[in-house]
Amino acid sequence: MTTNATPFDPASVLPDTLLDRFRERAAQHDSDNTFPHDDLADLTDAGYLALFAPTELGGAGLGLAEVSLLQQRLATAAPATALAINMHLVWTGVAKALADRGVDDLRFVLEGAVAGEIFAFGISEAGNDLVLFGSDTDAAPRADGSYAFTGTKIFTSLAPVWTQLGLHGLDTTSPDGPRMVYAFVPRSEENAGRIATRDDWNTLGMRATQSRTTHLRGAVAAADRVVRRIPPGPNPDPIVFGIFSVFEILLASVYTGIARRALDVAVATVGTRRSKKTGLTYSQDPDIRWRIADMALAYDALPPQLETLSRDVDTLVDHGPRWFSLLSGVKHRAVTMAKAVVDDAILVAGGSSYFAGSELSRLYRDVLAGMFHPSDPESAHSTVATAWLGPVES
């Protein structure tokens, strides 16, 4: 079967000139531990906030497969910027995934993104390995249908700039409880003293994400911003699939982009370094060539996997219970691949990469953040083992 459709070109949204600006700023934001406001402004001008919004709302009308390519490309220039904006893209991507499946509950997210709203992802909690299936945050129902959330969220990327915080909590007091409650609270709740954001992001890598701790002190989500009430635990509700699929694929895209940049830097470096012993560039050294080839073999496997799974989400392919193992697996492979490629790039580039000013030094620190995102290695292996072997007998 052939098609006349023109393939999507990520450079049409993120041209090289824009990536060069991001790359120049990335080192400074990493050094100063500051949020990339200029990057966000450039991305907003490029229509990045509304990539998933349909054209009839004023968005770009892109699918997950196209946005995955864009995130891979952005991560080659500024990984922390890519990871930060990822969290906004998760919510807008979930809104699109639900709309594609006939659920329009998050239309306001797509409309808000077109209007310039920035959505943050308030799901992570310290020590909560249930992730989407449970929460330590209390969700207290109010008489008017709104909810008040009390608890602590960690790793809240986009902390300095978000305007809407998408979060979850556990309602244990309603007659039909317990219920996991998904909702959105506005930034105005911070002004009212019901949200406090700690300036505590001082990390090894991914410093520009400014993923600060968020304290919820009865933060109110209006009734029309309470988008789901579902039983805790594994659940077939489309919001669970939407979050899991978009989150895992876009995370994998960022780390795949980091790997691509490390590979490109390594190739450029060995083309200019010259051996005193042979007089030849290191690109002619058989051991170096083997290592570069090994990096490329590892990297080349991921973009096709991301393309396939993204298209499957976009076209509503039904993988049934296999979905979760496929999604956690691609995230796990992307992160472990990216770390291995950056490790090898450091070896290929030599001692200069050990200095703090080296781009590879920054990539080496940035890529380590991948191990902390769900699904972590233990969760991924448990999910895949269950898919192939069935649940552990009780």
pLDDT in tens, 189-247: 999 999 999 999 999 999 999 999 999 999 999 999 999 999 999 989 999 999 999 99
Mean predicted lDDT score pLDDT of the chain = 96
pLDDT band for 4, please (50, 70, 90 cuts). Answer: low
Looking at residue 394, its pLDDT comes to: 84
Looking at residue 2, its pLDDT comes to: 43
Choose the weakest-confidence range: 4-8, 114-118, 137-141, 313-317: 4-8
Whether 257 contacts 73, CB under 8 Å: yes
Per-residue pLDDT tens digits for 236-281: 999 999 999 999 999 999 999 999 999 999 999 999 989 888 999 9
Question: Amino acid identity of 227?
Answer: V
CA distance 80 to 197: 19
Predicted TM-score (pTM) of the model is: 0.97
All structural domains of the chain: 10-116 (1.10.540.10), 120-230 (2.40.110.10), 238-389 (1.20.140.10)
